[in-house]
Amino acid sequence: MYLPQNVIRQKRNKQILTKAEIACFVDGLKNGSFTDAQVGSMAMAIWLNGMSTEEVVDLTLAMRDSGTVINWNNALDKPIVDKHSTGGVGDKVSLMLAPIVAACGAHVPMIAGQGLGHTGGTVDKLESIPGFNVRPSLPEFQALVKNYATAIISQTSDLAPADKRLYSIRDVTATVESIPLITASILSKKLAAGLESLVMDVKVGNGAMMADLPSAQALAHSIVSVANGAGTPTQALITDMNQPLGTTVGNALEIQETIDYLNGKYQEPRLHEITIALASLMLLTSNLAETLPQATTLAEEALSSGKAAKIFGQMITAMGGPADLLTNSENILPKANVIQDIIAPKSGYIGTMDTRAIGMALVEMGGGRVDHNQGLDYSVGFSHIKPKGSKVDAGDVIAKVHAKDAAQANLAINQYLAAIEFSDNEVEVEPVIHQLIQ
């Protein structure tokens, strides 16, 4: 038995923790033998002094094993693969990606999160669908994945509970940005789903957790090396978050964009590029395709044939949502009371977009949360967002705001315009995909 203060001292003194010491810390997270003050001290020691890859593998596996680890017990006859994003604004990729990859012959058990701060959450988007149950029991989740090839659910309290406590303390001790702790937090939850392979989408830019490329590269390398060290083949794409992804920001609006995307009505180019790239990697890592061109063709065909849309619709219905969502979404999804145009104040090009500020404008409208227990207004947000680099004339509509009343709409319009710079000259736009980390 190790004393908590001795384990903390080891890391404070820049020592490598043994597997047993890490297990002691994770047990202490779960059973309370590490007080909140000791957990905070340990998190700060890790933040300051880092961890080796082997230490992070041990921490990840111990946190994974602190709760239920789903064992599919050969119940699934197809590869089991998932994707995780580090989060951003307008990032609804999971909603398209899961049915596309499922349509290509994989099982995609996706355990998603709520939004917090400026970043949106896949769970919140799905909860804007009337009747949709994002918290089925574990046996129900397993049956859904078996029957429909994919299901997207909220993280349950029995999956990686040690991480839940550690995360809540990191949040109030200024240790959230530690790469070893981010890595272990993400992977402990993902690996608890019993995956055979994983693809990461690591966002970089002013709307991402990692604002610059070196930080994003460090996180991507950490996740890939730790996941592979833990026995789950993993690759990562570093993708751009210097502007919102797609044309919408806001829960019900992003579900509508997902439906339009899957139905082939409109596929915003940057959103489409990332979705197909991630789908292709998932098909490669799960051995459903042998080459990248073959994987890309399979993903595009799953989309254009309508097969992905059909699987999405089946999943929605099986999880309590309306059977006619894909054909009648305009009458089903929550609608804001006020919809107003956001007008370009001058002619030129849309330059720098403060993506975080746009995300926080949604939070102020009630469409995002600063506290995990906060309720949401699913109807509010922004749509018809013109991308960075667009040439506009004074008076052009550059976005629309969806608000509960005129006062909220006017405030949000001012916040949106304050988050955008207009340039007289053409603007260089960052590539959508920066790098593949293998």
Question: And the tokens for 200?
Answer: 């990461």
CA-wise closest residue to 198 among 207, 189, 206: 189
Residue 64: active-site member = no
- Catalytic-residue membership of 125: no
185 part of the active site: yes
Q: Which one of 92, 190, 386, 434 is the catalytic residue?
A: 190
Q: Which two structure tokens, joined as six digits, stand for 11? A: 């890391």
- Check the CA dihedral 133-135-141-145 and report its sign: positive
Look up residue 404 and give its two tokens.
Answer: 């509960």
Give the type of residue at 434: H
According to DSSP, the residues that pair with 116 across neighbouring strands are 119
Out of 92, 125, 164, 170, the active site residue is 170
Residue of 41, 85, 248, 355 marked catalytic: 85
Q: Which of 83, 356, 386, 400 is catalytic?
A: 83
Q: Catalytic: which of 66, 122, 150, 156?
A: 122
User: Using CB atoms within 10 A of its CB, is residue 76 exposed (0-12), middle (13-18) or buried (19+)?
Assistant: middle
Choice among 30, 60, 66, 82 that is catalytic: 82
Q: Which of 41, 154, 183, 185 is flagged as catalytic? A: 185
Q: Catalytic residue, from 118, 189, 388, 434: name it.
A: 189
Give buried/exposed letters for 356-391 (b at 16+ CB in 10 A, else e). Answer: bbbbbbbbebbbbbeeeeeebbbbbbbbebbbbbbe
Bridge-based pairing state of the strands 397-403 and 338-343 = antiparallel
Tell me, yes or no, if 84 is annotated catalytic. Answer: yes
Instruction: Report the SS3 class of residue 106.
Output: coil
Active site residue 170: yes
What would the two tokens of residue 17 be? Answer: 């923790």
Closest CA to 144 of 315, 313, 308, 312: 315
SS3 174: coil
Question: Closest by alpha carbon to 50, among 16, 2, 20, 8?
Answer: 16
Question: Which one of 11, 30, 84, 434 is the catalytic residue?
Answer: 84
Point out the residues that are catalytic.
Answer: 82-85, 122, 170, 185, 189-190
